[in-house]
Amino acid sequence: MGIIAALIPSTNPTSTTIYKIMISLKAGNAVIVSPHPNAKDSILKTAEYLIRAAERKGAPKRINWSYKNTYITSYTRAYET
């Protein structure tokens, strides 16, 4: 399949993270999570929790990449690779 770039805003960060990761994995794609600076901690914690749960259920390792830096840097880095 492919790789999905998930730019997560600061509005409803937890539910948006869950939704974007779930639909990406359901479609058989890997996902790159790029958090908004104002909600970075909750977004990264939610992504980590979901990926661990998916791996326990048999998903491949490293199906998710979460950039610790913020929006613009991650967005640029994703397009450079």
In the chain, alpha helices (H): 13-26, 40-56, 71-80
Q: What is the pLDDT of residues 6-37, one digit of tens each?
A: 889 889 999 999 999 999 888 988 888 888 88
Q: What is the pLDDT of residues 43-71, one digit of tens each?
A: 989 988 988 888 888 887 766 666 665 55
Q: Distances in Å between the alpha carbon of 17 and those of 27, 32, 49, 81? A: 16, 11, 11, 23
Tell me the C-alpha distance between 60 and 14, whole Å.
23
Q: What is the pTM of this model?
A: 0.75
Tell me the C-alpha distance between 57 and 44, whole Å.
20
Q: Is 64 helix (H, G, I), strand (E, B) or coil?
A: strand
